[in-house]
Amino acid sequence: MKKSTVKAEAQVESTEPKALANINGKYVFNETAIEWKAASNPKRPSGKAHARFEAYSKASTVGEFLSLGGTTADLKYDESKGFLALN
């Protein structure tokens, strides 16, 4: 019986940045700017989201938002409620 040989195609790396998430129809990247609309923390003080909001609301980009403890779910929710705008 003959053994077949399969050659793998070379992987070509894309130079375009990979989107982190699709937030309400917008693809966001690490460098996507955040404009905060909420003057104060709108989250319920007894919830875990309140503490996360306090930390991540200082971010000016999506990458910074995620590094400060925000999640893509937080980003999606806050954008849908008008707490922030993605630019």
29, part of any domain: no
Looking at per-residue pLDDT, the higher value among 46 and 8 belongs to: 46
Work out how many domains the chain is built from and give that number. 1
Q: Tell me, what's the pLDDT at 2? A: 66
Q: Is residue 54 part of a domain?
A: yes
Fill in the DSSP letter of residue 35. E
Q: What does the pLDDT look like over 22-36, one tens digit per residue?
A: 988 889 999 999 999
- Whether residue 3 is contained in a domain is answered as no
* pLDDT band for position 41 (cuts 50, 70, 90): very high
| Residues ≥6 apart with Cβ < 8 Å to 61 | 30, 31, 32, 33, 34
Mean pLDDT of the chain: 89
- How is 5-34 classified by DSSP, letter by letter? --PPPPPPPPSSPPP-EEETTEEE-TT-BE
Show the domain range for 66. 36-86
Residue 39 to residue 70: CA distance in whole angstroms: 18
The average pLDDT across 40-63 equals 95
Q: What is the pLDDT of residue 20?
A: 87
